[in-house]
Amino acid sequence: MFASALLTFCLAALATVKAAPQPVSPVKRQSPSLIYSCTQPNTAAISFDDGPYDYIYDIVNTLNSKGAKGTFFMRRCMYDQDSQDRIKYAFNNGHQIASHTWSHPNMVDLSWDQLHNEMWRVEEALQRIIGVTPAFIRPPYGNFNDQVLQAAYSRGQNVVIWDFDSGDTVGADAQESKNRYDQVANQRPNTIMALNHEVVASTAYDVLPYAIDRLQSAGYQLVTVAECLGMEPYQNVGQAQTNDENLRQLDWTLRQPSCVQPLFSRTLRAYHWGEVADLTSLRWSSINDG
């Protein structure tokens, strides 16, 4: 009898505990997310800005062959068939696709509406081409202000900068970039968030294989930006649009004013288009001409 009463009491107590108020939803972020570094121990996230570009196939193949993941921050010119194929190739191989704005502006110069325009164009393109809404954005040049953070926050996008720069668009040649990777591997910080550029040939073909080997032998796991933060790469994952012809039509209406606008400097652009054979022969001042 006593045991039975005790059991009843315990069950009632359990029921009471069960009925106690519980948090009904996950804790929401209270302020914009601004990220400089990974949080998961012993991870390194190698990221590539300014694509989709033709080198992406070899970059992805190199990453794959060494058991590494990369993250691609992409901007405009996504709807032509080549660009669609490039984005799909990286995505289908399990690498992260993120936003680098549509027209690569200096975001601190933009109005609230212009900021949203820059963000939604990329979101829409990625939804159409690979069926995802990105959860991460990297502002061009790493430039942002509070309005940029608020706009990104309102669209569910985390703003990612970096804590290591290979220097590939600010004058470092391949050897200098390799030296930088050596240096950081020797310093052995807990994590690394590495900035590189997809459009630089020496990054794709010379520095990247070296950097992967160097970081892996220093004990880092090479993962995506989202993985190194323990976060989801996309706000949602749905179905890509399958009508490529439809998307190619969009290319003509959205490709504006041109897909070959200056990205960082006249000299690098000339290099990019094959007019300059070797960047290492150029002086620092001439590289920063634009």
Please give the residue ranges that form the binding site for Zn ion (CB under 5 A): 49-50, 140
CB 90 within 8 A of CB 56: yes
Question: Residue 106 CB, nearest distance to Zn ion (Å)?
Answer: 11
Question: Residue 275 CB, nearest distance to Zn ion (Å)?
Answer: 20
| Cβ closest to Zn ion, residue 117 vs residue 216 | 117
Question: Residue 77 CB, nearest distance to Zn ion (Å)?
Answer: 13
| Cβ closest to Zn ion, residue 38 vs residue 268 | 268
* Phi-psi region at 17: left, alpha or beta (left = phi > 0; alpha = psi -120 to 50): alpha
| Cβ closest to Zn ion, residue 218 vs residue 263 | 263
Q: Which two tokens stand for residue 269?
A: 């652009």
208-217 vs 56-65: helix crossing angle, rounded to 10 = 20
| Cβ closest to Zn ion, residue 50 vs residue 118 | 50
| Cβ closest to Zn ion, residue 138 vs residue 155 | 138
Question: Residue 49 CB, nearest distance to Zn ion (Å)?
Answer: 4
Burial 184-209 (b: 16+ CB within 10 A, else e): bbeeeeebbbbbbbbbbbbbbebbbe
Question: Residue 189 CB, nearest distance to Zn ion (Å)?
Answer: 24
Kindly calculate the radius of gyration of the chain based on its CA atoms and give it in whole angstroms: 23
- Exposure of 231 by Cβ count < 10 A (0-12 exposed, 13-18 middle, 19+ buried)? middle
CB 79 within 8 A of CB 247: yes
Q: How far is CA 152 from CA 23, 48, 83, 196, 288, in A?
A: 26, 20, 24, 22, 29
| Cβ closest to Zn ion, residue 75 vs residue 95 | 75
Question: Residue 140 CB, nearest distance to Zn ion (Å)?
Answer: 5
